[in-house]
Amino acid sequence: MRRWRSSLPAWLVWPGPRTLQHALAGVRAVTGPATGTAAMGLVAGVAMAQSGLPMAVLLPMSLLVYASSSQLACLPLMASQAPLWLVGATAAVLNLRFVVFSAEWSRYFHHLSRPQRVALSYFAGDPIYALFTQRHPLPGGNRRQRRREVAYYLGLALSNWAVWQLSSAVGLVLADQLPGANSLRFVTILALLTLTLPMVKDRPTRVAAFAACAVALPAQALPRGLPVLVTMLAAMAAGLLAEHRRPRPHAG
Protein backbone atom coordinates (compact mmCIF):
# COMPACT_ATOMS: atom_id res chain seq x y z
CA MET A 1 0.00 0.00 0.00
CA ARG A 2 2.72 2.39 1.01
CA ARG A 3 4.82 1.66 -2.04
CA TRP A 4 1.81 2.03 -4.30
CA ARG A 5 1.05 5.43 -2.82
CA SER A 6 4.57 6.71 -3.11
CA SER A 7 4.69 5.92 -6.83
CA LEU A 8 1.85 8.35 -7.51
CA PRO A 9 2.44 12.04 -8.17
CA ALA A 10 2.07 13.97 -4.92
CA TRP A 11 -1.04 15.88 -5.92
CA LEU A 12 -2.94 12.65 -6.66
CA VAL A 13 -2.50 11.16 -3.20
CA TRP A 14 -5.50 11.65 -0.92
CA PRO A 15 -4.19 14.05 1.70
CA GLY A 16 -5.33 12.15 4.80
CA PRO A 17 -7.34 13.37 7.77
CA ARG A 18 -4.61 15.40 9.50
CA THR A 19 -3.86 17.41 6.39
CA LEU A 20 -7.57 17.93 5.77
CA GLN A 21 -7.91 19.28 9.31
CA HIS A 22 -5.43 21.99 8.44
CA ALA A 23 -7.36 22.83 5.28
CA LEU A 24 -10.57 23.05 7.31
CA ALA A 25 -8.83 25.28 9.86
CA GLY A 26 -8.09 27.58 6.93
CA VAL A 27 -11.73 27.58 5.85
CA ARG A 28 -12.80 28.43 9.41
CA ALA A 29 -10.20 31.17 9.84
CA VAL A 30 -11.29 32.97 6.69
CA THR A 31 -15.04 33.11 7.50
CA GLY A 32 -14.94 36.60 9.05
CA PRO A 33 -12.63 38.23 6.49
CA ALA A 34 -14.62 36.46 3.74
CA THR A 35 -17.59 38.63 4.73
CA GLY A 36 -15.47 41.57 3.64
CA THR A 37 -14.54 39.70 0.47
CA ALA A 38 -18.23 39.11 -0.25
CA ALA A 39 -19.01 42.81 0.22
CA MET A 40 -16.10 43.73 -2.04
CA GLY A 41 -17.23 41.18 -4.63
CA LEU A 42 -20.72 42.65 -4.67
CA VAL A 43 -19.29 46.16 -5.05
CA ALA A 44 -16.99 45.02 -7.86
CA GLY A 45 -19.86 43.23 -9.58
CA VAL A 46 -22.08 46.32 -9.42
CA ALA A 47 -19.22 48.51 -10.64
CA MET A 48 -18.62 46.16 -13.57
CA ALA A 49 -22.31 46.13 -14.50
CA GLN A 50 -22.49 49.93 -14.36
CA SER A 51 -19.28 50.46 -16.34
CA GLY A 52 -21.13 50.10 -19.64
CA LEU A 53 -18.68 47.53 -20.96
CA PRO A 54 -20.24 44.66 -22.95
CA MET A 55 -21.12 41.51 -21.01
CA ALA A 56 -18.78 39.53 -23.28
CA VAL A 57 -15.88 41.45 -21.68
CA LEU A 58 -17.29 41.59 -18.16
CA LEU A 59 -17.84 37.84 -17.78
CA PRO A 60 -14.22 36.81 -18.46
CA MET A 61 -13.06 39.73 -16.33
CA SER A 62 -15.22 38.61 -13.41
CA LEU A 63 -14.07 35.00 -13.74
CA LEU A 64 -10.36 35.46 -14.46
CA VAL A 65 -9.16 38.71 -12.89
CA TYR A 66 -8.94 38.06 -9.18
CA ALA A 67 -7.72 41.47 -8.00
CA SER A 68 -10.35 43.71 -6.52
CA SER A 69 -8.52 47.03 -6.21
CA SER A 70 -6.91 47.06 -9.64
CA GLN A 71 -10.14 45.79 -11.18
CA LEU A 72 -12.11 48.68 -9.70
CA ALA A 73 -9.49 51.20 -10.76
CA CYS A 74 -9.17 49.92 -14.32
CA LEU A 75 -12.91 49.70 -15.06
CA PRO A 76 -13.44 53.43 -15.67
CA LEU A 77 -10.24 53.49 -17.76
CA MET A 78 -11.45 50.62 -19.91
CA ALA A 79 -14.92 52.12 -20.22
CA SER A 80 -13.48 55.42 -21.45
CA GLN A 81 -11.37 53.59 -24.06
CA ALA A 82 -8.11 54.65 -22.40
CA PRO A 83 -4.94 53.31 -24.06
CA LEU A 84 -4.01 49.77 -23.06
CA TRP A 85 -0.65 50.80 -21.61
CA LEU A 86 -2.43 53.07 -19.14
CA VAL A 87 -4.71 50.23 -18.03
CA GLY A 88 -1.67 47.97 -17.64
CA ALA A 89 0.39 50.57 -15.78
CA THR A 90 -2.44 51.32 -13.34
CA ALA A 91 -2.93 47.63 -12.59
CA ALA A 92 0.83 47.09 -12.19
CA VAL A 93 1.25 49.94 -9.69
CA LEU A 94 -1.77 48.81 -7.67
CA ASN A 95 -0.41 45.26 -7.61
CA LEU A 96 3.12 46.20 -6.53
CA ARG A 97 2.42 45.22 -2.94
CA PHE A 98 1.94 41.64 -4.10
CA VAL A 99 5.52 41.63 -5.44
CA VAL A 100 6.63 42.34 -1.87
CA PHE A 101 4.33 39.64 -0.51
CA SER A 102 5.60 37.11 -3.07
CA ALA A 103 9.09 37.30 -1.55
CA GLU A 104 7.54 36.01 1.65
CA TRP A 105 5.48 33.31 -0.13
CA SER A 106 8.64 32.01 -1.81
CA ARG A 107 9.93 30.97 1.63
CA TYR A 108 6.89 28.74 2.13
CA PHE A 109 6.41 27.33 -1.36
CA HIS A 110 9.91 26.91 -2.78
CA HIS A 111 9.69 23.11 -2.44
CA LEU A 112 6.86 22.97 -5.01
CA SER A 113 7.21 22.92 -8.79
CA ARG A 114 7.04 26.19 -10.70
CA PRO A 115 3.52 25.67 -12.12
CA GLN A 116 2.30 24.80 -8.62
CA ARG A 117 3.97 27.88 -7.15
CA VAL A 118 2.41 30.14 -9.77
CA ALA A 119 -1.01 28.50 -9.35
CA LEU A 120 -0.87 28.96 -5.58
CA SER A 121 0.26 32.57 -5.81
CA TYR A 122 -2.71 33.41 -8.04
CA PHE A 123 -4.98 33.06 -5.01
CA ALA A 124 -2.79 35.08 -2.65
CA GLY A 125 -4.88 38.12 -1.78
CA ASP A 126 -4.45 40.47 1.17
CA PRO A 127 -6.62 38.56 3.67
CA ILE A 128 -4.87 35.31 2.78
CA TYR A 129 -1.45 36.80 3.46
CA ALA A 130 -2.55 38.36 6.74
CA LEU A 131 -4.19 35.18 8.07
CA PHE A 132 -1.52 32.80 6.85
CA THR A 133 1.47 34.60 8.34
CA GLN A 134 -0.39 34.89 11.62
CA ARG A 135 -0.64 31.12 11.97
CA HIS A 136 2.70 30.34 10.33
CA PRO A 137 5.07 33.22 11.12
CA LEU A 138 8.00 31.03 10.02
CA PRO A 139 8.17 28.34 7.32
CA GLY A 140 8.21 24.79 8.66
CA GLY A 141 11.40 22.74 8.53
CA ASN A 142 10.18 19.34 7.41
CA ARG A 143 7.94 17.89 4.71
CA ARG A 144 4.96 17.26 6.94
CA GLN A 145 4.92 20.82 8.23
CA ARG A 146 5.17 22.20 4.71
CA ARG A 147 2.33 19.96 3.59
CA ARG A 148 0.18 21.34 6.39
CA GLU A 149 1.06 24.89 5.49
CA VAL A 150 -0.03 24.29 1.90
CA ALA A 151 -3.24 22.63 3.16
CA TYR A 152 -4.00 25.59 5.42
CA TYR A 153 -3.22 27.96 2.58
CA LEU A 154 -5.56 26.14 0.19
CA GLY A 155 -8.33 26.14 2.79
CA LEU A 156 -8.00 29.89 3.18
CA ALA A 157 -7.42 30.76 -0.43
CA LEU A 158 -9.96 28.56 -2.21
CA SER A 159 -12.84 29.50 0.09
CA ASN A 160 -12.00 33.20 -0.24
CA TRP A 161 -11.83 32.80 -4.02
CA ALA A 162 -15.17 30.96 -4.14
CA VAL A 163 -16.81 33.69 -2.06
CA TRP A 164 -15.35 36.32 -4.38
CA GLN A 165 -16.55 34.56 -7.54
CA LEU A 166 -20.04 34.05 -6.19
CA SER A 167 -20.50 37.56 -4.83
CA SER A 168 -19.09 39.35 -7.87
CA ALA A 169 -21.38 37.27 -10.11
CA VAL A 170 -24.35 38.20 -7.92
CA GLY A 171 -23.34 41.87 -8.04
CA LEU A 172 -22.93 41.73 -11.80
CA VAL A 173 -26.37 40.21 -12.39
CA LEU A 174 -28.37 42.00 -9.68
CA ALA A 175 -26.67 45.40 -10.00
CA ASP A 176 -29.92 47.35 -10.23
CA GLN A 177 -31.59 45.65 -7.28
CA LEU A 178 -28.71 46.26 -4.85
CA PRO A 179 -28.96 49.58 -3.04
CA GLY A 180 -26.35 51.00 -0.68
CA ALA A 181 -23.15 50.03 -2.47
CA ASN A 182 -21.47 52.64 -0.28
CA SER A 183 -22.12 50.92 3.03
CA LEU A 184 -21.11 47.63 1.41
CA ARG A 185 -17.87 49.25 0.34
CA PHE A 186 -17.12 50.23 3.90
CA VAL A 187 -17.71 46.66 5.12
CA THR A 188 -14.66 45.76 3.00
CA ILE A 189 -12.65 48.47 4.70
CA LEU A 190 -13.77 47.23 8.12
CA ALA A 191 -12.66 43.71 7.18
CA LEU A 192 -9.23 45.00 6.15
CA LEU A 193 -9.01 46.98 9.40
CA THR A 194 -9.75 43.91 11.51
CA LEU A 195 -7.03 42.02 9.62
CA THR A 196 -4.42 44.54 10.75
CA LEU A 197 -5.36 44.22 14.46
CA PRO A 198 -3.62 40.91 15.26
CA MET A 199 -0.51 42.12 13.41
CA VAL A 200 0.05 44.86 15.99
CA LYS A 201 1.57 42.78 18.76
CA ASP A 202 4.88 44.30 19.85
CA ARG A 203 6.73 47.59 19.83
CA PRO A 204 8.17 47.44 16.28
CA THR A 205 4.76 46.60 14.80
CA ARG A 206 3.14 49.42 16.80
CA VAL A 207 5.77 51.83 15.48
CA ALA A 208 5.21 50.57 11.93
CA ALA A 209 1.43 50.94 12.28
CA PHE A 210 1.82 54.47 13.63
CA ALA A 211 4.13 55.43 10.75
CA ALA A 212 1.68 53.99 8.22
CA CYS A 213 -1.23 55.96 9.71
CA ALA A 214 0.83 59.16 9.72
CA VAL A 215 1.99 58.80 6.11
CA ALA A 216 -1.24 57.40 4.60
CA LEU A 217 -3.12 60.72 4.55
CA PRO A 218 -0.45 63.07 3.13
CA ALA A 219 0.45 60.36 0.60
CA GLN A 220 -3.03 60.70 -0.90
CA ALA A 221 -1.74 63.70 -2.85
CA LEU A 222 0.34 61.30 -4.99
CA PRO A 223 -1.01 59.73 -8.18
CA ARG A 224 -3.18 56.64 -7.92
CA GLY A 225 -1.45 53.50 -6.66
CA LEU A 226 1.60 55.26 -5.26
CA PRO A 227 0.06 56.12 -1.85
CA VAL A 228 -0.13 52.42 -0.97
CA LEU A 229 3.49 51.88 -1.99
CA VAL A 230 4.80 54.93 -0.11
CA THR A 231 2.83 54.03 3.02
CA MET A 232 4.07 50.47 2.87
CA LEU A 233 7.68 51.67 2.58
CA ALA A 234 7.17 54.04 5.53
CA ALA A 235 5.86 51.19 7.68
CA MET A 236 8.78 48.97 6.64
CA ALA A 237 11.39 51.65 7.38
CA ALA A 238 9.84 52.55 10.74
CA GLY A 239 9.53 48.89 11.71
CA LEU A 240 13.15 48.20 10.78
CA LEU A 241 14.37 51.16 12.86
CA ALA A 242 12.28 50.11 15.86
CA GLU A 243 13.54 46.54 15.54
CA HIS A 244 17.15 47.71 15.71
CA ARG A 245 16.50 49.92 18.71
CA ARG A 246 15.03 47.00 20.60
CA PRO A 247 17.29 45.66 23.38
CA ARG A 248 18.51 42.17 22.54
CA PRO A 249 16.14 39.60 24.01
CA HIS A 250 17.82 37.61 26.78
CA ALA A 251 17.77 33.86 26.70
CA GLY A 252 14.90 32.36 28.69
Instruction: Determine the Cα–Cα distance for residues 214 and 223; give it in Å rounded to an integer.
Output: 18
Using CB under 8 A, which of 98, 136, 165, 170 touches another protein?
98
- Residue list 109-128, contact with another protein (CB under 8 A): 109-110, 114, 117-118, 120-122, 124, 126
Instruction: Determine the Cα–Cα distance for residues 195 and 150; give it in Å rounded to an integer.
Output: 21
Q: Which residues contact 41 (CB under 8 A, 6 or more apart)?
A: 68, 163, 164, 165, 166, 167, 168, 170, 171
Cβ 115 to another protein shortest distance, Å: 10
Contact flag: residue 194 with another protein (CB under 8 A): yes
Contact flag: residue 181 with another protein (CB under 8 A): no
CB 81 within 8 A of CB 52: no
Instruction: Determine the Cα–Cα distance for residues 161 and 40; give it in Å rounded to an integer.
Output: 12
- Residue list 22-51, contact with another protein (CB under 8 A): 31-33, 35-36
Residue 19 or 68 with smaller CB distance to another protein: 68
Residues in the chain: 252
Q: What is the 3-state secondary structure (H, E, C) of 70-103?
A: HHHHHHHHHHCCCCHHHHHHHHHHHCHHHHHHHH
- Residue list 49-68, contact with another protein (CB under 8 A): 53-54, 56-57, 60-61, 64-67
Using CB under 8 A, which of 19, 37, 71, 167 touches another protein?
71
Q: Which residues contact 176 (CB under 8 A, 6 or more apart)?
A: 49
Using CB under 8 A, which of 91, 151, 157, 172 touches another protein?
91
CB 187 within 8 A of CB 58: no
Q: How many residues make contact with another protein (CB under 8 A)? A: 93
Residue 50 or 102 with smaller CB distance to another protein: 102
Q: Which residues contact 242 (CB under 8 A, 6 or more apart)?
A: 203, 204, 206, 207, 208
Cβ 212 to another protein shortest distance, Å: 4
Contact flag: residue 133 with another protein (CB under 8 A): yes
Residue 1 or 103 with smaller CB distance to another protein: 103
Using CB under 8 A, which of 47, 78, 154, 163 touches another protein?
78
